[in-house]
Amino acid sequence: MIDLYTSDWGLSPTYWQKLQFPKEFHSKISVLHDGVDTEYFKPNPGAKLVLPNLDLSHVDELVTYVGRGMEPYRGFPQFIEAIAYVQERRPNCHVVIVGSERVCYGKALPDGRSYKDLMLEKVPLDLSRVHFTGSLPYGQYLQVIQASSVHVYLTRPFVLSWSMIESMSTGCLVLGSNTAPVTEVIEDGENGLLVDFFSPKQIADRIDEVLDHPTRMAEIRAKARTTVLERYSLADLLPQHIQLIKNIANQSTSRHGALSSL
């Protein structure tokens, strides 16, 4: 708090994160996302997933999930429960889960088990159709989201993952939790779909909705890409970051200046 008080300016990637600070500091915090490389994260129509140790080129229904770890903050337990519903109804659907078997946010289980082990003991799944890749190099991660039929992104109100914006940039159909700051980016039915974070049944139902109506979802995919191009492109945001730094360095604004509009 002392550092924030003595700082000249602050930067937040989302409005929700800015609002977590005391009101007296809001006037000197800009909301400016880091941005994603939209030339790298771009659609690859008709892409099929083929990784060095995983060939899903025969799969037409691919549900994806990406996280640094597998943990409650990112809705991993609810996702696994949702997949059980999906597997009952869709015998040809495959799931790819990218991430390490660890907890990055929040508390680990007291008995030392991973949430992956806990959920696989609790929820019966056909593991021949659920693929845990571990962490992937950037290029292989890109292949996963480009080939995705529906990408599930769940989070408690917390820091927004780059992976959600990157997925939208590739034209992914993102199924996001109806939580902050996801709702700053995704408008339900426009550029993605929103679900109740705590409802595995609703998550599964909306996965079905996407897989049952690929033509209807095409427009939502296109709008997801447009949203990122208009609001989260690194090519546009990086110059704004640089200008903000220059403005502060040159003392061209006061502590209560107009930079918050950036």
What kind and span of H or E run contains 200? helix 200-212
The per-residue pLDDT for 252 is 54
pLDDT score for 96: 98
Domains of the chain: 1-32 (no CATH), 49-231 (3.40.50.2000)
Residue 145 confidence (pLDDT): 98
Residue 261, pLDDT score: 46
Closest among 253, 94, 222, 70 to 154, alpha carbons compared = 70
Residues of the chain with pLDDT under 70: 252-262
- Nearest CA to 247 out of 261, 227, 229 is that of 261
Coil, strand or helix at 76? helix
Task: Please state the φ and ψ torsions of residue 256, each to the nearest 5 degrees.
Answer: -115, 35
Q: How far apart are CA 64 and CA 148, in angstroms?
A: 6
DSSP state of 129: G
Asked if residues 70 and 99 have their Cβ atoms less than 8 Å apart, the reply is yes
Query: Which backbone phi and psi does 123 adopt, to 5 degrees?
Result: -120, 120
